[in-house]
Amino acid sequence: MSRFSKYFLMKESDISDYVKEKIDFFNKDARLTVKEIGDGNLNYVFRVFDEAGGTSLIVKQAGEQLRISADMRVSTDRNRIESEILTIQHKYAPGLVPKIFQYDTVMCACMMEDLSDHELMRYALMKHKTFPRFADDITTYMVQTMLNTTDIVMEHKAKKALVKSFINPELCEITEELVLTEPYNDVNKRNIVFPENAAFVKKELYEDRALHLEIAKLKFDFMNNSQALLHGDLHTGSIFVKQDSTKVFDPEFAFYGPAGYDAGNVVANLFFAWDNGYAAGEKQFCDWTIKTAEEVIDLFKQKFIRCYKQNATDVMAKTEGFAEYYLNSIITATAGYAGCELIRRTVGMAQVKDVTTIEDKAKRAYAERVNILCAKNLIKNRAKILCGADFTSALKDAASRA
Ligand code: SR1
Ligand code: MG
């Protein structure tokens, strides 16, 4: 009997046998080298390569305990969700996601295209590299994967079947707690507050009742608005880039939710890159992050309306003015969720290296105050945030007040 017929957490030394047994990809006599390269909070990622043959692939396995904390356990079904959504997204956004070769329900592992010729976007941005294709690619990805999975385009019973298959309660619960609850009350005592900003965080986040009301609205929208099939964790650690290519991966938080959640995450993570560039005095890079954040919103709007008008199938969705109404509500939600991501990565349990690696304490404290002030403006005034420049004005305004 195969030793891979019952789930266990694989180590580097298991992977060569696993791959040879499960997939006809390498030459039979290939000498495979395996390296664990996982960098996220949840899973184990192995790069398998045959140096002689010049071929490689990735094995990604879900562990029962999370890497970020052994106390947190999440269903390994997330690996199925990830494989299935990547297959759907490949159909709608070809070339913008990795190819899935195979998914194994027993070992909760999938094998996929190796993207080692790309860089993880967060780390590339921390070196202050810029990517001219990014805004165009990420907006194509978002419009195609989101709009095509809504009731605007899909037959409604088929859409409901997808909603059911992407029910992802445990991963959504992580977001509901880490993003949409704890940053405002530290109810589970997991927040990590930079000591220099403790009084600021208490006043601006823990004691701002009007902010809490807005977060409650966004939280219940996140839980109840099954609008589009989302990536669910679309930060710059979920994106590989090179100058002429963008690939979105790691969609294990995928579920049917409000479209603005993904778009908000993209904008917020460009603002973390700005934080890092500003602390390093990299003005040109900062200008690029601002221009790119604006393009992400403005191109998203343009492409969304065009795709909507071409592909809407629902009779009532074709009513004059509805496309614009629907898109505006997504941009409003984008502002709200960008604010949530900015705040939770600044004071919550899962932070971002763009900010935490700023060595100078005063500069890091400043970056964190910029994030919080910008976020509060985006959240509280989200109904008035309509275009890319409105998002970046919130950042510039926060930078002058922090
Ligand atoms: C417990 S998991 C912490 C964070 O890592 C993931 O990438 C998600 O962003 C999650 O909130
Ligand atoms: Mg991830």
Same structural domain for residues 297 and 150?
yes
Our count of domains for the chain comes to 2
Report the nearest atom of ligand 1 relative to the CA of 250.
7
DSSP string for residues in 319-359: STTHHHHHHHHHHHHHHHHHHHHHHHHHHSSS--HHHHT--
pLDDT at 254: 96
Same structural domain for residues 138 and 207?
yes
- Residue 235 burial (CB count, 10 A): 20
Q: Average pLDDT, stretch 237-242?
A: 95
pLDDT at 130 over 80: yes
The answer to the question of residue 2 being in a domain is no
Lowest mean pLDDT among 70-79, 277-286, 329-338: 70-79
Given 113, 145, 174, the domain boundary residue is 113
The answer to the question of residue 324 being in a domain is yes
- Pick from 199, 195, 256: nearest CA to 231: 256
The answer to the question of residue 258 being in a domain is yes
Same structural domain for residues 161 and 105?
no
Same structural domain for residues 133 and 105?
no
Task: Name beta bridge partners: 65.
Answer: 73
pLDDT at 69 over 90: no
The answer to the question of residue 223 being in a domain is yes
Q: Average pLDDT, stretch 371-392?
A: 98
With beta carbons less than 8 A apart as the criterion, state whether 248 and 237 touch.
no
For 333, the token pair is 């939600």
Task: Say what percent of the chain tops pLDDT 90.
Answer: 91
Task: Say what percent of the chain tops pLDDT 70.
Answer: 100
Same structural domain for residues 97 and 206?
no
Same structural domain for residues 27 and 161?
no
Cβ 251 under 6 angstroms from ligand 1: no
Same structural domain for residues 36 and 167?
no
Domain coverage including residue 54: 12-113
With cut-offs at 50, 70 and 90, classify the pLDDT of residue 367.
Answer: very high
Cβ 351 under 6 angstroms from ligand 1: no
pLDDT, one tens digit per residue, over 152-211 is 999 999 999 999 999 999 999 999 999 999 999 999 999 999 999 999 999 999 999 999
Q: Which ligand is nearest to the CA of 251?
A: 2
The answer to the question of residue 16 being in a domain is yes
Residues near ion ligand 2 (CB < 5 Å) are: 40, 250
Q: In this structure, what CATH number is given to the domain that contains residue 300?
A: 3.90.1200.10
pLDDT at 75: 86
Record the pTM.
Answer: 0.95
- Pick from 396, 154, 370, 153: nearest CA to 287: 396
Same structural domain for residues 259 and 393?
yes
The answer to the question of residue 200 being in a domain is yes
Same structural domain for residues 126 and 96?
no
Cβ 72 under 6 angstroms from ligand 1: yes
pLDDT, one tens digit per residue, over 304-327 is 999 999 999 999 999 999 999 999
Given 89, 113, 137, the domain boundary residue is 113
Same structural domain for residues 26 and 157?
no
State the alpha helices, DSSP H only, in 205-251: 209-224
Same structural domain for residues 126 and 88?
no
Q: Which ligand is nearest to the CA of 67?
A: 1
- To test the pocket of ligand 1, the residue of 43, 78, 174, 342 to mutate (highest count of ligand atoms within 8 Å of its CB) is 174
pLDDT at 78: 86
The answer to the question of residue 342 being in a domain is yes
Q: Which ligand is nearest to the CA of 233?
A: 1
The answer to the question of residue 213 being in a domain is yes
pLDDT at 228 over 80: yes
Q: In this structure, what CATH number is given to the domain that contains residue 95?
A: 3.30.200.20
Q: Treating both helix axes as pointing N-terminal to C-terminal, what angle do 322-347 and 361-380 enclose, rounded to 10 degrees?
A: 150
Same structural domain for residues 27 and 105?
yes
